[in-house]
């Protein structure tokens, strides 16, 4: 029944999105900050059920890396990380809901691409996960590299960048492949699990999470190749620069917090005693950064206190404290040779 | 004033005013919707237009009935998947009608067991949501089909495993066109015989086995021509490659599950429609046919069914339309249908949601109108001639 509900839900949201996009003049209001404050709740679109990113815990509450991004924004804007409403959205629905302005932020695992960014009525905020597409196969297949996959069958989900990446990669290497494309990632994963396909493909950090959902995770392995560059970024509606600044700088503060050693545990102590002017500006002890983006002076303090810095979030949901145990790869600070960098708080 | 009132009281004047008023209101409403939509889209910074149709689609489609590669354009992707939708609808309509006919026969059977089976079938299949049934057949099929390394072989030319039923593909050689001509000519001759036999039976009452003769002609003549040309066809037999069978053609489990699900679900409704149609023919007709010595078979084929058809056609047309539209569920189990392409693949890539919705609507409207037209023609042919 879950599938039925989600299908109907998807169609309903889709038509609601279209209707509000086309007919109702209320869509995509110019002042989202005021709207969110008035509503007292932040509405986020999240990926439906991917362990580590957004999935229900034992108590039925949505938790994960993507959910924490949403909580950080809620903490910065409303002062309370729990004032969020998450709606599970399949990829095309999330896309349309964002365009129609029915959600405030989409923290779905969306790859930032030209075609999605330009002329679509939405804006990408900043890259929160540097990912790349990989392949999962059964160990029993005896394949050690993606170059050995000539003639294999792929299971994947429709509408993702995955489809184009696979055809580009195989065309480049003069190899053939067959594919079965499902309406959603969930069905693609089930079909691969039922051995319909030789290969299951999506972004690598997604694959790590999906492997755990297989009947027998140990039967599967992820091939070494990364065939694409997938910068994953949350999205906001196009045209409301104030709101975009708030979301972008909230995310920046989480990365800056890691750089300056601010954690959810020591944030109070740092606020009262830190000498570093950057830390003082982030935490609102000096400067008026909060007021400049229409928030209170505790905006970043609240966000960091609620979800921790980037490193804490990663380890809790994706890294060593999670079931996924995924390494951070390129997602480490620029000071350590990674790609994560926050523009300076100056 | 008195004149004006009496003018207004004329029924025809009033109804015309209402009708035209409604038409004008609908047109104004549509203009308003179009205007707000375009204004809002411009405000949101959305591009509109159909230029994207000739861009490269970038995604593969399987199965494709005509040539298609990821380098083909979006419009080609739409045509390929629209053909998939039509093909699936057609197969499912034919099979659901055949199965539905049997279900109706079971329900009307004097045999208690058959009757109960018919009842049970209808109640189970029409009361479970179609999407659920599709998931059931698809994942049940995946559970039951053999793995690739233990494929079931049929005489070493056809193979069945979890990725599908692999069958040889005929490769036509020179001379094959004569066989096609033979089929055409045989069909034409059969049609002429059928018309002549019909005419003769009407005038003299003499029956003529035109159907059997026609079927024989259509099968035997092309075979004879093919034999004379030393069978101008070779078969590409599937061979096990690195991962699976290659060559030949494959019936994939997604398509099979769709055909299964649509057929079984719709047969329950079709069965009820046919049963109701047959029962609506007066009992006296059957008794009258019996009294002049018609066999049971003749009674049904000559008396009952032709009359029942008039009751069956309108509701069964609705059922066919509903079936064609419900093929849009196919994307859920990975069959590349029209809706799958429009909503699942093209919309997220291009973001041209409004345009794609318009094309999708037009596509399904076209299919539905086409089915409705065929059924209307058939209805016209079988109606009671009025003098």
Judge whether A30 lies within some domain: yes
Q: Residue A95: which of B147, B329, B348 has the nearest Cβ?
A: B348
Is A176 in the same domain as A203? yes
Is A179 in the same domain as A196? yes
Is A107 in the same domain as A248? yes
Tokens of B89: 């609808």
Judge whether A72 lies within some domain: yes
Q: Do A179 and B350 touch (CB under 8 A)?
A: no
Tokens of A219: 């039967």
Is A120 in the same domain as A12? yes
d(CA A86, CA A57): 14
Judge whether B294 lies within some domain: yes
Q: Do A179 and B62 touch (CB under 8 A)?
A: yes
Nearest CA in chain B to A151: B243
Kindly report, residue by residue over A70-125, the tens digit of the pLDDT: 999 999 999 999 999 999 887 777 877 887 788 999 998 888 988 788 877 889 99
Distance from CA of B60 to the nearest CA of A (A): 7
Q: Residue B349: which of A115, A171, A198 has the nearest Cβ?
A: A115
Q: What is the CATH number of the domain that holds A243?
A: 3.40.190.10
Looking at chain B, how many residues does it have? 387
Is A121 in the same domain as A238? yes
Q: Do B345 and A120 touch (CB under 8 A)?
A: no
Judge whether B29 lies within some domain: yes
Q: What is the CATH number of the domain that holds B309?
A: 1.10.3720.10
Q: Do B351 and A159 touch (CB under 8 A)?
A: no
Is B44 in the same domain as B125? no
Q: Residue B44: which of A23, A121, A160 has the nearest Cβ?
A: A121
Judge whether A346 lies within some domain: no
Q: Do A7 and B334 touch (CB under 8 A)?
A: no
Q: Do B351 and A120 touch (CB under 8 A)?
A: yes
Is B129 in the same domain as B39? no
Please report residues of A whose CB lies closer than 8 A to that of B60: 163, 167, 177-179
Supply the range of the domain harboring residue B110. 102-168+237-263+273-334
Q: DSSP secondary-structure letter at B150? A: G
Judge whether B351 lies within some domain: no
d(CA A275, CA A279): 8
Is B38 in the same domain as B154? no
- Residue in B347, B274, B220 with CA at minimum distance from that of residue B108: B274
For residue B169, CA distances in Å to B233, B234, B235, B255, B356 come to: 10, 8, 6, 18, 35
Judge whether A182 lies within some domain: yes
The string over A249-288, giving b where at least 16 C-beta atoms fall within 10 Å of a residue's C-beta and e elsewhere, is bbbbbbbbbbbbebbbeebeebbeebeeebbbbbbbbebe
Strand B169-172 with B164-167, pairing: unpaired
Q: Do A191 and B347 touch (CB under 8 A)?
A: no
> To 10 degrees, the CA torsion angle through B363, B367, B369, B373?
150
Share of chain A above pLDDT 90, in %: 47
Q: Name which residue leads in pLDDT, B1 or A41.
A: A41
Is B41 in the same domain as B135? no
d(CA B272, CA B275): 5
How many CB atoms neighbour CB A146 within 10 A?
24
Judge whether A111 lies within some domain: yes
Tens-digit pLDDT string for chain B (387 aa): 677 777 777 778 888 888 999 999 999 999 998 888 888 777 766 667 788 888 888 888 888 888 888 888 999 999 999 999 999 999 999 999 999 999 999 999 889 999 999 999 999 999 999 999 999 999 888 888 888 777 888 887 788 888 888 888 777 777 778 888 888 998 999 889 888 888 888 888 887 888 888 888 888 888 888 888 777 777 778 887 777 777 777 888 899 999 999 999 999 999 999 999 999 998 899 899 999 999 988 898 888 988 898 889 999 999 999 999 999 999 889 899 999 889 888 887 777 888 899 999 999 999 999 999 999 998 888 777 665
Site of tokens 């007066």: B282
Judge whether B284 lies within some domain: yes
Nearest CA in chain A to B42: A121
Is A19 in the same domain as A159? no
Is B24 in the same domain as B140? no
B265: Cβ contacts below 8 Å, ≥ 6 apart: B125, B126, B130, B133
Judge whether A343 lies within some domain: no
Is B36 in the same domain as B112? no
Judge whether B115 lies within some domain: yes
Site of tokens 């896309």: A95
Judge whether A341 lies within some domain: no
Is B124 in the same domain as B241? yes
Please report residues of A whose CB lies closer than 8 A to that of B36: 22-23, 25
- Amino acid B360: pLDDT: 95
Q: Do B131 and A4 touch (CB under 8 A)?
A: yes
Domain edge (last residue) among A169, A194, A228: A228
Contact B360, B305 (CB under 8 A): no
Judge whether B37 lies within some domain: yes
Please report residues of A whose CB lies closer than 8 A to that of B342: none
Q: Name which residue leads in pLDDT, A209 or A289.
A: A289
> How many cross-chain Cβ pairs, A to B, lie less than 8 Å apart?
157
Domain edge (last residue) among A175, A199, A228: A228
Site of tokens 């970024």: A233
d(CA A112, CA B38): 26
Is B37 in the same domain as B137? no
Is B330 in the same domain as B247? yes
Is A194 in the same domain as A89? no
The string over B234-251, giving b where at least 16 C-beta atoms fall within 10 Å of a residue's C-beta and e elsewhere, is eeebbebeebbbbebebe
Q: Name which residue leads in pLDDT, B205 or A293.
A: A293
The pTM for the full model equals 0.75
The two most distant CA atoms of chain B are separated, in Å, by: 92
DSSP string, B1-17: -HHHHHHHHSHHHHHHH
Domain edge (last residue) among B48, B67, B87: B48
Nearest CA in chain A to B47: A119
Q: Domain count for chain B, please give it.
A: 2
A106: Cβ contacts below 8 Å, ≥ 6 apart: A44, A45, A46, A89, A94, A97, A98, A234, A235, A236
Is A20 in the same domain as A93? yes
Q: DSSP secondary-structure letter at B337? A: -
Is A254 in the same domain as A314? yes
Most A CBs within 10 A among B136, B351, B352, B360, hence the mutation to make, goes to: B351
For residue B344, CA distances in Å to A14, A19, A184, B57, B338 come to: 12, 19, 9, 13, 10
Is B156 in the same domain as B40? no
Judge whether B251 lies within some domain: yes
Q: Do A181 and B336 touch (CB under 8 A)?
A: yes
d(CA B374, CA B372): 6
Is B139 in the same domain as B255? yes
Distance from CA of A22 to the nearest CA of B (A): 4
d(CA A35, CA B262): 46
Nearest CA in chain B to A194: B142
Task: Please name the residue ranges forming H helices in chain B.
Answer: 2-9, 11-43, 74-108, 112-126, 130-144, 176-204, 210-228, 253-279, 283-291, 296-298, 305-326, 338-339, 347-350, 353-382
Task: Give phi and psi for B89, each to the nearest 5.
Answer: -60, -45
Q: Do A167 and B59 touch (CB under 8 A)?
A: yes
d(CA A163, CA B334): 13
Contact B119, B103 (CB under 8 A): no
Kindly report, residue by residue over A130-155, the tens digit of the pLDDT: 999 899 999 988 889 988 888 888 89
Is B160 in the same domain as B286? yes
Q: Do A159 and B345 touch (CB under 8 A)?
A: yes
Supply the range of the domain harboring residue A318. 2-129+232-336
d(CA A206, CA A131): 9
d(CA B94, CA B262): 11
Is A174 in the same domain as A106? no
For residue B377, CA distances in Å to A88, B307, B315 come to: 47, 17, 15
Q: Residue A7: which of B37, B131, B357 has the nearest Cβ?
A: B131
Is A83 in the same domain as A31? yes
Domain edge (last residue) among A228, A248, A278: A228
Burial of B275 (0-12, 13-18, 19+ CB in 10 A): buried
How many CB atoms neighbour CB A187 within 10 A?
23
Kindly report, residue by residue over A301-314, the tens digit of the pLDDT: 999 999 999 999 99
Task: Please name the residue ranges forming H helices in A104-240.
Answer: 114-117, 161-172, 185-193, 204-212
3-state secondary structure of B258: helix
Q: Residue A25: which of B36, B132, B351 has the nearest Cβ?
A: B36
How many CB atoms neighbour CB A301 within 10 A?
25
Q: Domain count for chain A, please give it.
A: 2
Judge whether A243 lies within some domain: yes
Distance from CA of B290 to the nearest CA of A (A): 51
Is A112 in the same domain as A145? no
Q: Do B353 and A179 touch (CB under 8 A)?
A: no
């Amino acid at each position: 029944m879950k599938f039925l509900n989600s299908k109907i839900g998807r169609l309903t949201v889709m038509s609601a999105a279209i209707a509000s996009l086309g007919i109702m003049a209320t869509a995509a209001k110019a002042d989202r900050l005021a709207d969110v404050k008035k509503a007292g709740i932040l509405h986020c679109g999240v990926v439906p059920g991917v362990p580590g990113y957004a999935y229900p815990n034992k108590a039925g509450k949505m938790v994960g890396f993507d959910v924490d991004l949403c909580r950080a924004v809620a903490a910065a804007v409303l002062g309370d990380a729990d004032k969020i409403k998450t709606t599970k959205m399949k990829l095309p629905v999330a896309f349309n809901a964002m365009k129609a302005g029915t959600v405030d932020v989409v923290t779905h695992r969306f790859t930032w691409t030209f075609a999605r960014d330009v002329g679509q009525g939405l804006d990408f905020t900043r890259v929160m996960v540097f990912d790349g597409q990989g392949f999962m196969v059964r160990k029993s297949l005896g394949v050690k590299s993606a170059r050995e996959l000539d003639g294999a069958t792929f299971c994947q989900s429709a509408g993702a960048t995955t489809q184009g990446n696979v055809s580009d990669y195989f065309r480049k290497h003069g190899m053939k492949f067959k594919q079965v494309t499902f309406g959603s990632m969930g069905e693609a994963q089930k079909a691969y699990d039922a051995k319909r396909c030789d290969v299951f493909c999506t972004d690598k950090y997604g694959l790590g999470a999906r492997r755990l959902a297989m009947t027998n995770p140990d039967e599967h392995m992820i091939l070494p190749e990364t065939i694409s560059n997938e910068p994953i970024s949350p999205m906001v509606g196009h045209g409301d620069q104030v709101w975009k600044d708030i979301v972008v700088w909230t995310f920046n503060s989480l990365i800056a917090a890691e750089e300056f050693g601010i954690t959810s545990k020591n944030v109070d102590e740092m606020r009262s005693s830190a000498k570093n002017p950057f830390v003082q500006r982030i935490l609102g002890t000096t400067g008026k950064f909060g007021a400049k983006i229409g928030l209170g002076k505790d905006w970043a303090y609240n966000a960091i206190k609620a979800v921790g810095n980037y490193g804490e979030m990663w380890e809790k949901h994706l890294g060593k404290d999670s079931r996924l145990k995924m390494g951070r790869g390129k997602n480490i600070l620029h000071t350590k040779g990674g790609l994560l960098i926050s523009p300076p708080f100056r | 004033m008195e004149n004006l009132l009496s003018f207004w009281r004329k029924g025809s004047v009033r109804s015309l005013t209402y009708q035209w008023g409604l038409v004008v209101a609908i047109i104004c409403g549509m203009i308003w919707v179009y205007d707000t939509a375009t204004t809002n889209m411009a405000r949101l910074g959305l591009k509109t237009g159909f230029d994207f149709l000739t861009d490269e689609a970038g995604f593969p489609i399987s199965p494709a009935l005509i040539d298609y590669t990821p380098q083909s354009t979006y419009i080609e992707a739409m045509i390929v998947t629209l053909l998939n939708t039509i093909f699936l609808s057609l197969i499912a309509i034919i099979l659901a009608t055949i199965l539905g006919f049997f279900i109706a026969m079971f329900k009307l059977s004097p045999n208690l067991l058959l009757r109960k089976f018919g009842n049970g079938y209808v109640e189970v299949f029409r009361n479970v949501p179609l999407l659920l049934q599709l998931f059931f057949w698809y994942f049940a099929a995946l559970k039951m089909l053999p793995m690739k390394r233990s494929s079931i072989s049929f005489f070493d030319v056809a193979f069945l495993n979890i990725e599908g039923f692999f069958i040889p593909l005929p490769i036509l050689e020179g001379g094959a066109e004569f066989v096609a001509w033979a089929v055409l000519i045989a069909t034409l001759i059969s049609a002429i015989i059928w018309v002549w036999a019909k005419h003769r039976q009407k005038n003299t009452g003499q029956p003529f086995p035109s159907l059997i003769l026609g079927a024989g002609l259509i099968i035997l003549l092309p075979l004879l021509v093919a034999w004379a040309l030393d069978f101008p066809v070779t078969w590409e037999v599937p061979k096990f490659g690195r991962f699976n069978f290659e060559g030949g053609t494959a019936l994939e489990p997604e398509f099979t599950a769709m055909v299964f699900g649509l057929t079984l679900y719709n047969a329950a409704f079709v069965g009820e429609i046919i049963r109701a149609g047959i029962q609506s023919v007066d009992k006296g007709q059957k008794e009258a046919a019996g009294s002049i010595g018609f066999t049971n078979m003749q009674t049904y084929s000559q008396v009952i069914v032709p009359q029942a058809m008039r009751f069956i056609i309108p509701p069964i047309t609705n059922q066919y339309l509903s079936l064609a539209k419900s093929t849009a569920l196919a994307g859920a189990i990975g069959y590349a249908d029209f809706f799958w392409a429009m909503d699942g693949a093209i919309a997220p890539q291009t973001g041209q949601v409004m345009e794609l919705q318009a094309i999708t609507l037009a596509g399904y409207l076209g299919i539905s109108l086409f089915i409705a037209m065929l059924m209307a023609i058939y209805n016209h042919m079988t109606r009671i001639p009025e003098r």
